[in-house]
Amino acid sequence: MSPHDDGRQNLALLCFYPARAMEARVLAAMAEAGFDDITAAQGRIAARIGPAGTRLTDLAAQALVTKQTAGHLVDQLERAGYVRRVPDPTDARARLVQMAERGWAVVALARQVEAEVEAEWTAHLGEEATAQLRAALTRLREVTDPYR
């Protein structure tokens, strides 16, 4: 510990711990429900797919991985039946990655688990603190998330 370190952890780490816990809970619930063929890395890519589909280059940029890595993860998701590639209606040369039926089933399960976890956190923190935390993190996103 340096003389200037007051023992407090930086805000990014304090945001990371609950994000990691949420991801672990979602992945565990998915595996328990039979979706045991999806990895955390695949899930991070899949979570960035918009309702109408998203280009691979955009998925890579948002996930902070190379286009090659994103392509490999999407290939795996496609083989497992979670996503499909379709022509981009706005650009004949481009393709969109879209959720397939199996992917939407996982999304529904993830949303359910996320709600359960948030309810537990709210019970722990209280309604007011939870609302303040959500408001503060939403404001912080204005300066930290270029894809908001």
* Other beta carbons within 10 Å of 110: 21
Express each pLDDT in 29-75 by its tens digit. Answer: 999 999 999 999 999 999 999 999 999 999 999 999 999 999 999 99
| pTM of this prediction exceeds 0.95 | no
What number of other Cβ atoms are within 10 A of residue 11's Cβ?
A: 12
Give the confidence band of 4 by pLDDT, cuts at 50, 70, 90.
Answer: low
Task: Tell me if 29 sits within 8 A of 109, measured CB to CB.
Answer: yes
Q: Show the domains of the chain with their CATH numbers.
A: 11-144 (1.10.10.10)
Find, among 45, 40, 50, the residue nearest to 20 by Cα.
Answer: 40
Query: Which pLDDT does position 26 carry in this prediction?
Result: 97
Q: How far apart are CA 120 and CA 117, in angstroms?
A: 5
